[in-house]
Amino acid sequence: MPCMCWYTPSEEKQKIFKEHCERLVEYIKELEREGDPDCCTVNNAVELITHLYRPSSCEEKKEI
């Protein structure tokens, strides 16, 4: 997939994906402006997405 950060992709699925990412980034930036970046930083978002996508990458054991 080519870099989409500077243009609007032509495929509908890519447009939707980009819109979700843009909303997440705007939310994190809003939290930073409010002075509360501790609850959700870009690094936290990347880590959470990684863990949600590949739960095996999480070092902590799941509680059952």
Q: Quick check: is 18 in a domain?
A: yes
Confirm whether 6 is domain-assigned: no
At 21 the pLDDT is: 92
Average pLDDT, consecutive stretches of 10 residues, N- to C-terminus, the chain (64 residues)? 77 93 92 80 89 82 57
Q: Which pLDDT value is given to residue 9?
A: 87
For residue 7, tell me if it sits in a domain: no
Q: For residue 19, tell me if it sits in a domain.
A: yes
- pLDDT at position 34: 86
pLDDT at position 61: 60
Q: What is the extent of the structural domain holding 40?
A: 13-55
The structural domain count of the chain equals 1
* Structural domain includes residue 49: yes
Q: Say if residue 34 is exposed, middle or buried (CB neighbours under 10 Å; 0-12, 13-18, 19+).
A: exposed
Q: Are 29 and 20 in contact (CB under 8 A)?
A: no
Token readout for 49 is 């997405």
Indicate whether 61 belongs to any domain.
no
